[in-house]
Amino acid sequence: MKKGGKWNTGTSHNISYSPSELFYKLFKKKSCPICNNKMKSNFTREYMGVGIAKINHVVYNAHLHEHQQYYYCEQCDRNFPISELVNHSKDIKEK
């Protein structure tokens, strides 16, 4: 522990899904929209700077990271953000 009465500085990792994204993540088959190959789960991490994070109802001054869910297709060597895949699976249903 450091002396001096400073804020605790931690690291916050935040990932959020919309309801349709969560449904996709849990129940849908993750196949590539281009080649139909099975995709791997992948994340990107973006540093948002120092800010206030709430962890278990305790407020910290933290280095904030926003994560985004991606799926990676080895065959196409491409990452697809989950938001794009959700829209794509909606398109299929409507056709």
Residues that bind Zn ion (CB under 5 A): 32, 34-35, 37, 73, 75-76
Rank residues 35 and 48 by Cβ distance to Zn ion and give the closer one.
35
CB of residue 65 to Zn ion, shortest distance in Å: 28
Q: Which is nearer to Zn ion, 13 or 38 (CB)?
A: 38
Question: Cβ 89 to Zn ion, closest distance in Å?
Answer: 15
When the beta carbons of 14 and 37 are compared against Zn ion, the nearer one is 37
Inter-CA distances, 8 with 14, 25, 50, 65, 66, Å? 18, 34, 12, 17, 20
The residues, any chain, with a CB within 8 Å of residue 29's CB and separated by 6 or more, are none
Q: For 77, how many CA atoms within 13 A lie in the half-sphere containing its CB? A: 0
User: Do residues 73 and 41 lie in contact, with contact meaning Cβ atoms separated by under 8 Å?
Assistant: no
In the complex, least distance from residue 58 CB atom to Zn ion, rounded to whole angstroms: 43
